[in-house]
Structure 1
Amino acid sequence: MSTTDHATAPSPAVVPAEGIPYYTPAANPGAEADPTEKETPTLFRPLKIRDVTLKNRAIVAPMCMYSTNPDPASPSIGALTDFHVVHLGHLALKGAGLVIIEATSVQPNGRISPNDSGLWQEGTASEQFKGLKRVVDFVHSQGGKIGIQLAHAGRKASVVAPWLASAKGVRSLKADEGAFGWPKNVVGPSGGEENIWAEGGVSYWAPRELSTEEVEEVVRAFARSAELAVKAGVDVIEIHGAHGYLVNQFLSPVTNRRTDKYGGSFENRTRFLREIASSIRAVIPEGMPLFLRISASEWLEGQPIAAERGSWDINSSIELLKILPELGVDFLDVSSGGNHKDQKFDPHGDYQVKLAAQLRKEIRAAGGKTLVGAVGLITQAEAASEIVQGADNDEAHRAETMLAGEEPRADAVLMARQFLREPDWVMNAAKKLGVHLNPPVQFGRAYLR
């Protein structure tokens, strides 16, 4: 073979992907090979949310990787790296319908650990922006959609990466200034020693209470980060309102003891979230979906702290549902827990899927159209398929679920650890369910049927 043969242009049927400075074929792995196939289960049918269409209902949930530069003196602090291109890009390459980037802080002191992702640097020349855009461009080259979860850790901030803590035999380990932490600037809706997050006997830093003006600045920070994400080409924005991080802390009467406009009543405790959602919706395109992850319950029913202060429970989440449409929230990502050490639940089976199903039923009974995602302990293809079956416009699918005396429990499933164990979960699930998907171009010979 001559050297010129190596430079032969690719077949007209194989075109280069756009937006990346190197060659890879434009591909669309994970999409149904024959969109007209009537027997395709809902899990592998497209999901349209505003102007964005996911090719299937399998979503990669945000997963903290604790793998960015922690040094505040470096311009690359908090910026996504080659690791994230490989990690997130591979999940897109293997066909996930949507890949959501890990919790990305809107302020430096909002990171869980010094090694967390951030998006607070101004301008498109910043390292944080450039790192994000590299990940976005690669995912798009594989026909994938990508979201970013915007977050602030609040009182659960300034801890070291979990593998460093585990080396000491504890669940968490406070990061002081020597580990690039910020012990004097850990914040929450309420401050003081009594508001320290404690888990498994390991304490975090005592938060200081945010002033009203600082709360308003955090709201603006969420909007600025959302604007940058849009410029980087992100398809979906998700607000992190779960797991005891700052938004969840404001929602719950357990952690919110404020007396200003952000504390007290349900209306006041939800004000922070409402302002964040409205500020983001105002700066992102009308056709861009806005997701919200919540802890649907703190699992504190019957606990002394709930008897004393009340708690955020499933009824609170049902009340929140009523205002999501006016906030422009399109998709509710239903998780639970993480805001108090006394939470009690059975961490087995489909406990969170049940929460998602209950909230979806409430939405549909009220005539609402907000979509619902189920997450937690979903590992098997058959289980994932059953959760969403019938949640589409196919009459046969809807009739099938009605005849079975059931209804869809969610519109999509989100998985995290299972994608770490099994990056090609989508392709494997399709095989188990008898669905023919487009394989990755470069991996096609491994999926010959």
Structure 2
Amino acid sequence: MVQIIVHPKTALIDEPLHIRVTGLLPNQLVGLQAKLTDEKGVLFFSQVVYKADEGGEIDLEHAAALGGDYVGIHPMGLFWSLKPKKVLSRLLKQDVINSPYLVQLSVHDSNIIFSAPLESLKASETVERWYSAPGVQRILIREGRIRGSLFLPPGEGPFPGVIDLFGHIGGLIEHRASLLASRGFATLALAYFGYEDLPEATDVLDIKYFEEAANFLLSHPKVLGPSIGVVSVSHGAQIALAMAVFLKQVAATVCINGFFFSVGCIKYRNENIHSINLFLERARTNNLGLLELSSVFGNPQEEANKHALLPVERAQGHILFIVGEKDCNVNSKAYAEQAMEQLRRHGKSNGTLLSYPGAGHLIEPPYAPLCFASHNPFLPRPVLWGGETILHAEAQEHSWKEILKFLRHHLSPASISKL
């Protein structure tokens, strides 16, 4: 009898699985498929051809895929190669506490050609992929101006504190914060526009709002003080960098595919960082109808308006820049290199740059599928994010380990006591 054996069947989204198929004929060709339906009813699926060994078994840790959505040895390829049946859909978990993604793995007869759906089901197994570990607590926050969700790890603590910021899609995005809490960080998923009574746009970013959030987090009895970390992506990364510059509470900042200048006005008390020049006429639509925005931002080195640059050399904490070299939304590698150079010019060594060939803009925790392009509620056309599937997956796996290591190192009691 054909069986799919998965260990563990219930796991956090960033945990690898050991997947085996047994009971096949020697050297039999079969199709393996993964399917999940998100909370909006969108189907995501992947399918690959494998060949059983002489014993009639396929072990994804050792067997190479022969065709389909990827080739080669990729034990978690069925997950990171998931693609939406409804094009331009992004897999974005809404309820991170009460429900997992249910992923159905199945084995079928296969003729290697995927012109039609796989048929002749031989075996199936369903696995649960969670964004929160048992005991993680979610607390909705409406404290003064602050809007967000606080995720607390199980246990008494105190835990290192982290603020989690997303980019220009607005609202409250929680999946990374709950996963960080599952890894031992008290994490505040912070909304800053397009949510409840917050502003509808980000033309002016007042860092006082984010300072209030940092102080709120540090005031919680389960949060280890006196400093916090920030994890951010895209538009949120410029805010995180501004927090690192202006706020002494920030000891560790992760900037994923961001920039070190102001888009719109950034203000803190009596200081204003004016917007870099934007060249909207440079935005182009490719032959797929996708909006490419990487040329819209002026080159900070060439801009006459030098007041747009964030003075990164004033950051007292450590900064980890993570960039994808196939980012089609922002020229993130060039901007991170310029920020690193600015630090060096001022004799600072508190910056680290991780650059990933083939990775796109939306670098997520491990095993999330590549979102090459998707709709943005604030733009008239779907946006091209970029990335190559396998290299992007490798970047997500490696960078997540580095993020956790970076936060643990710089937010540990020993590190904080040296600040």
What range describes the TM-score normalised by the shorter chain of this pair?
A: 0.3 to 0.5
Higher relative strand content: 2
Higher relative helix content: 1
So what's the TM-score if we normalise by structure 1? 0.31
Higher RCO structure (Cα 8 Å, ≥6 apart)? 1
So what's the TM-score if we normalise by structure 2? 0.33
